[in-house]
């Protein structure tokens, strides 16, 4: 039961074959048993989770079912405010930060009747590695394999059957990396589609996206319908109407134009290229048309991404840095110094390049509906490989190359499982679309998952 999709669990709850209390108890027991070795949770909210589960059970028994998330145990990245519970954003400097309000996404999940199990561990300040004094999340498929960053706990928890779905954030790949690394489906919606209110210490000013991670595209569609939409607390949210995403998943994708750029994938290893090729064949068998395209050059904007992120990060942490420098890791302190050192001219130059890239990419979507691209150039990298790569040129070309450009453009991007390495670890593939084409990406991914079983394989725990 712990590895079921949200849709399957929701059906069991609706038919009363299982109760919200039973589900919450199962998840909390598994967390107690397994998470000491996985470190996927930063805070376990057992008391409030059981209270929410009992309330959901009482409502469902009275025939007052709120919707498909009612009674479903979920979790949120420890970047999302939770009233009365610490939100540390992977840092130690914010360990005593206890919000008095929920983030909008948390509030909306609770209003939908979901049971919030806890706060998921993450990389420090949502960038790079975990804080050296905090335990790092472990990939449940293989402890030596990279778990993904920065929504690492979300990837590990769902893959291990410690929650059914989660909310993550993504400034350069932080929903997509852990989804790919853990055999999950993760969705970074159009920038502004989901409110960033109550997302602690983020780069929400320009590049941060909030979105769901779950087992399937159907589950992501179900969660996105709940958390998306205009929010008065976040004036950057889009006012556009939120579609009923689950109801649109069965749309025929015959004739869908999927663009692939061989040059864009030039630095990928052969395993990654094989997964992309296999995925393209599946889509063609479903009636989609794969066409060769030329994605606008990303080298300059990928090179600028770190500086742009550092500037936003410095702004987000101006209350605690540099006054509490000693509580930050050397890596994040250096990142904050880097951001603070940039001038207004530097920022304007970066923004101009980004705006030009955004325009070129939007023009590309006049000719195709979806782009099929990799996640990383290295298929399921190990922890050792990532340490060797570091944060230099190789990091730009083999890690950030295929993800951060679509944060800069604000484009929706979806990751879905597409294969496995010889050592049995998952490999993901990525679909990218034009602004507000969430339904197109979700529909294509859903069709893919109806004829493949990559998303239905689980780690042995």
Q: Which residues are catalytic?
A: 77, 150, 174
Please say whether the beta carbons of 422 and 179 come within 8 A.
no
Q: How many Å apart are CA 28 and CA 2, to the nearest integer? A: 11
Nearest alpha carbon to residue 357 among 301, 403, 430: 301
Q: How many CA atoms lie within 13 A of 33 on its CB side?
A: 10
Token reading at 259: 């663009």
Q: How many Å apart are CA 348 and CA 345, to the nearest integer? A: 5
Q: How many Å apart are CA 292 and CA 409, to the nearest integer? A: 21
Q: How many CB atoms lie within 10 A of CB 112?
A: 19
Secondary structure of the chain as H, E, C letters: CCCCCHHHHHHHHHCCCCCHHHHHHHHHHHHHHHHHHHCCEEEECHHHHHHHHHHHHHHHHCCCCCCCCCCCEEEEECCECECCECCCCCCCCCCCCCCCCCCHHHHHHHHCCCEEEEEECCCHHHCCCCCCCCCCCCCCCCCCECCCCCCHHHHHHHHCCCCCCEEEEECCCCCHHHHHHCCCEEEECCCCCECCCCECCCCCCCCCEEEEEECCHHHHHHHHHHHECCECCECCCCCCCCCCHHHHCCCCCCCCEEEECCCCCCCCCHHHHHHHHHHHHHHHHCCCEEEECCCCCCHHHHHHHHHHHHHHHHHHCCCCCCCCHHHCCHHHHHHHHHHHHCCHHHHHHHHHHHHHHHHHHHHHCCCCCEEEECCCCCCCCEHHHHHHHCCCHHHHHHHHCCCCHHHHCCCCEEEEEEEECCCCCEEEEEEEECCCCHHHHHHHHHHHHHHCCHHHCCCCC
Q: What are the backbone dihedrals phi and psi of residue 376, each rounded to the nearest 5 degrees, phi first?
A: -125, 160
């Amino acid at each position: 039961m712990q590895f079921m999709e949200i849709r399957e669990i929701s059906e069991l709850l609706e038919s009363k074959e299982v109760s919200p209390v039973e589900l919450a108890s199962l998840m909390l027991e598994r967390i107690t048993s397994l998470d000491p070795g996985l470190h996927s949770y930063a805070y376990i909210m057992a008391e409030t989770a059981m209270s929410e589960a009992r309330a959901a059970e009482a409502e469902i028994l009275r025939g007052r079912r709120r919707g498909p998330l009612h009674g479903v145990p979920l979790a949120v990245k420890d970047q999302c405010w939770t009233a009365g519970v610490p939100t540390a954003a992977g840092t130690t400097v914010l360990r005593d930060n206890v919000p008095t309000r929920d983030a909008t996404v948390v509030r909306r999940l609770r209003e939908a009747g979901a049971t919030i199990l806890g706060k998921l561990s993450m990389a420090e300040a949502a960038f790079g590695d975990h804080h050296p004094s905090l335990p790092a999340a472990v990939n449940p498929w293989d402890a030596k394999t990279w778990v993904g960053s920065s929504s690492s706990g979300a990837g590990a928890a769902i893959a291990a059957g410690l929650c059914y779905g989660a909310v993550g954030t993504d400034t350069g790949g932080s929903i997509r990396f852990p989804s790919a690394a853990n055999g999950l489906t993760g969705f970074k919606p159009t920038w502004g589609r989901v409110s960033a209110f109550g997302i602690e210490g983020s780069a929400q000013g320009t590049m941060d996206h909030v979105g769901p991670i779950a087992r399937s595209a159907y589950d992501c569609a179900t969660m996105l319908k709940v958390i998306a939409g205009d929010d008065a607390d976040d004036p950057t949210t889009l006012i556009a109407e939120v579609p009923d995403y689950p109801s649109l998943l069965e749309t025929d994708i015959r004739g869908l134009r999927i663009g692939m750029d061989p040059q864009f994938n030039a630095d990928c290893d052969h395993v990654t290229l094989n997964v992309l090729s296999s995925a393209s064949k599946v889509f063609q068998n479903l009636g989609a048309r794969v066409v060769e395209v030329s994605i606008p050059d990303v080298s300059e904007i990928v090179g600028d991404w770190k500086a742009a992120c550092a500037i936003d990060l410095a702004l987000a942490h101006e209350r605690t840095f540099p006054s509490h420098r000693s509580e930050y890791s050397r890596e994040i302190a250096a990142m904050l110094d880097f951001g603070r050192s940039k001038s207004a001219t530097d920022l304007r130059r970066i923004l101009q390049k980004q705006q030009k890239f955004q325009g070129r990419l939007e023009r590309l979507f006049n000719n195709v509906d979806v782009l099929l691209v990799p996640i990383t150039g290295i298929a399921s990298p190990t922890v050792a490989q990532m340490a060797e790569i570091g944060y230099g040129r190789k990091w730009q070309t083999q890690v950030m190359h295929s993800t951060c450009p679509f944060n800069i453009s604000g484009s929706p991007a979806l990751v879905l499982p597409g294969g496995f390495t010889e050592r049995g670890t998952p490999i993901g593939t990525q679909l990218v679309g034009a602004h507000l084409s969430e339904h197109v990406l979700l529909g294509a991914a859903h069709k893919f998952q109806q004829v493949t079983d990559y998303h239905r394989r689980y780690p042995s725990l």
